[in-house]
Structure 1
């Protein structure tokens, strides 16, 4: 089940949620050959577009988020809540579901 909204800028994650756009795999090889979309696998890499303020612990204090806007992250193959904006698809994950941050 996916939700459709008009502008991604109007979406603000709550608590420990993170809005991520998957990075698409190249459909063209280094030598210039175009690959069919059916042969290109979806990458488990994404870019963080927005971050919620953080969840609350049992004492009611905010738990800091592990990622920030602009970070490249490793995400699970499945999971997250899909959000469609026009032809683009984004995903909302919990901070704890993100596997790793990719430092360049």
Structure 2
């Protein structure tokens, strides 16, 4: 699977958060000082949510997509000493093109 050795189930995705913004002066802007959504890269995506009749709904996000998500979205996990978030596709606010 590459970067992570966990396969997300259903409509879940694994997101690698993009580090906090650093100003030119080197000051790190804390998350509490800004109301912007968080950014991350999808490193794994599940097969899609199962419908009532057993059909899978296609995923809108895929591995490699850069996404925006809410500050408190998902569940934090540590895989291979790196921090990731496991969240439902519905937690994604948008895909950065």
Normalising to structure 1: TM-score of the pair?
Answer: 0.77
- Structure 1 unmatched runs, 5+: 1-6
Choose 1 or 2 for highest CA Rg: 1
Tell me the CA shift for residue 74 of structure 1.
Answer: 0.6
Runs of 4 or more above 6 Å deviation: none
CA RMSD of aligned residues (A): 2.1
- Structure 2 unmatched runs, 5+: none
Q: Is the strand fraction higher in 1 or 2? A: 2
Answer whether contact 2:15 2:44 (CA < 8 A) is retained: yes
Q: What is residue 40 of structure 1 aligned with on the other side?
A: 30
Answer whether contact 1:21 1:49 (CA < 8 A) is retained: yes
Q: What is residue 3 of structure 1 aligned with on the other side?
A: none
Answer whether contact 1:22 1:45 (CA < 8 A) is retained: yes
